[in-house]
Chains A and B, each alone.
Chain A
């Protein structure tokens, strides 16, 4: 029962969505299944929050290495949750002035807005920006022209790196028919044009091949799941 019911739900949901795609008459069924999914996705936030608390409280109680960071996570999570749910510092909506909590949780000047603007935004932007430093370091340490394939990759990287900036234009602007009529046949060699060519031909061809392969794999895996052959998503118990 514990495995059969989820299997049936998965199978029914999957086949309804497939049928709804191909038969216009059953379009409403697909909408209904998708709405159920949306509701479940909203509930998943509660589960996610609960799981986050459970994991980090356990780390704190076990005093595992770095448990202090878990403490910061729990405190940040609870403070943000409280500030957002209680709408601290938020004025009532102009439409419903009689209701103290009618304002938006993210209203400018509210506590949640301050947390978002001055804690979340700089922190996430900083984390993302750090990538540039690691890319520069990794490029110096790992990017070697050891063989033909690596050399091609390196050459392509140079073209793209230069072609995505003004350097590309500046370096090859001399390939201009105004300088010499014969250059009309070679304008494709300008770095900015080469970049476009690489992205729209080589990159597109490679990506399409990968995407078609992935799509075939997804069809195969999905059919296995819908038919109950593959049950890995149900866990071991």
Chain B
């Protein structure tokens, strides 16, 4: 850390220089009065630094914080890990670029894990922007690191279908009613790995990466609940994850919540399959835990400071 500060002295200088006007206000206006009337742009600046500096630090040093996988992350990992080569997995990527920061690393880790296990991957999405998220994950993991996997034999992209949960409702009993072609326009009857696949109950596991509606909740309601033999694990945003806990563990045996869940799962995949020096793209969630740590600490500090001012003001009024 000290070495970083010494070598990146210019960054420290910029941060200090940017905060000098705030320090001067504290000196001239008094601590309490300045805090009472603190312009929110100072908070924005503090948050900017608290995110930017850890990103830069991790980028320069390559260091990440150690993660201890939770029970749910391990359960998610085990659900995929117990499958045998050739088993079918439905990869439902229901998210968009707005949530890529949280969910992109999960999608990458899921596909890497499935590719390592030699599972047959069927990609689909219920979000109009989902096809691009599928394309980028396939390009990042399969095309780049598993060139031996063939489209149509080892993985297929069924693309987007409009209709929200109604799509799930149909494909859970009759996939071919809605999906007559893949996203490239090839007839499903011409795709080798679609042979014998008539509904998604035949999938050994459904992996859903979800940013909202339609997402994991709909997969639970319309696929798992009526057909309890369907297994589902999910990765969800931090906002959505608390709403999904009621389905754990019977309807949802595995759940990754936000970037923390992604980091835990990523660690399990890296430890099991990628060795000591994995490509940085497989450490994205672990790297993003740094900015999250400092930003959380800043928010806690802001709340504490605001409450100290509040208590002092309250006592002053009582007197």
A135 interfacial by beta-carbon distance below 8 Å: yes
A38, A106, A121: the one within 8 Å of B163 (CB):
A38
Q: Is the interface of B mostly helix, strand, loop or mixed?
A: helix
In the complex, which range does the number of interface residues on chain B fall in?
35 or more
B-contacting 9-mer, from A4-12, A60-68, A176-184, A201-209: A201-209
Q: How far, in Å, is A85 (CB) from chain B's closest CB?
A: 15
Scoring B residues 241 to 276 as 1 if CB is less than 8 Å from chain A, else 0, what string do you get?
Answer: 011011010000000011010000000000000000
Scoring A residues 130 to 145 as 1 if CB is less than 8 Å from chain B, else 0, what string do you get?
Answer: 0011011101110111
List chain A residues, Cβ under 8 A from B48: 133
The answer to whether A38 and B132 touch across the interface, beta carbons within 8 angstroms, is no
Question: With contacts A30-B169, A136-B44, A143-B303 known, is A164 near B98, CB below 8 A?
Answer: no
The answer to whether B38 and A192 touch across the interface, beta carbons within 8 angstroms, is no
How many residues of chain A have a CB within 8 Å of chain B?
58
The answer to whether A140 and B161 touch across the interface, beta carbons within 8 angstroms, is no
Interface residues in A84-108 by Cβ distance below 8 A to B read 93, 95-96, 102, 104, 106, 108
B71 interfacial by beta-carbon distance below 8 Å: yes
B186 interfacial by beta-carbon distance below 8 Å: yes
The answer to whether A133 and B44 touch across the interface, beta carbons within 8 angstroms, is yes
Question: With contacts A137-B40, A162-B300 known, is A128 near B99, CB below 8 A?
Answer: yes
Q: How far, in Å, is A120 (CB) from chain B's closest CB?
A: 7
- C-alpha gap A165/B51 in the complex (Å): 14
A30, A42, A144, A157: the one within 8 Å of B310 (CB):
A144
The answer to whether A132 and B47 touch across the interface, beta carbons within 8 angstroms, is yes
B196 interfacial by beta-carbon distance below 8 Å: no
Q: Is the interface of A mostly helix, strand, loop or mixed?
A: helix
Residue of B nearest to A130 (CB): B44
B65 interfacial by beta-carbon distance below 8 Å: yes
The answer to whether A164 and B303 touch across the interface, beta carbons within 8 angstroms, is no
B97, B101, B248, B302: the one within 8 Å of A136 (CB):
B302
Q: How far, in Å, is A208 (CB) from chain B's closest CB?
A: 5
- C-alpha gap A37/B169 in the complex (Å): 11
The answer to whether A164 and B163 touch across the interface, beta carbons within 8 angstroms, is no
B66, B70, B166: the one within 8 Å of A37 (CB):
B166
The answer to whether A167 and B296 touch across the interface, beta carbons within 8 angstroms, is yes
Please indicate which of the listed interface residues B38, B243, B293, B310 has the most CB atoms of chain A within 10 Å of its own CB.
B293
Scoring A residues 201 to 224 as 1 if CB is less than 8 Å from chain B, else 0, what string do you get?
Answer: 001100110010000000000000
5 tightest A-B CB contacts, nearest first: A38-B163, A166-B65, A165-B293, A128-B98, A121-B97
A-B pairs with beta carbons under 8 Å apart, 17 shown? A31-B177, A41-B166, A96-B185, A104-B185, A108-B135, A120-B129, A129-B101, A132-B295, A136-B302, A140-B43, A157-B303, A161-B300, A164-B258, A164-B292, A199-B245, A203-B242, A204-B246
Contact residues of B with A, CB < 8 Å?
A: 38, 40, 43-44, 46-48, 51, 65-68, 70-71, 96-101, 129, 131-132, 135, 139, 161-164, 166-167, 169-170, 173-174, 177-178, 183-186, 226, 242-243, 245-246, 248, 257-258, 260, 289, 292-293, 295-300, 302-303, 305-307, 310
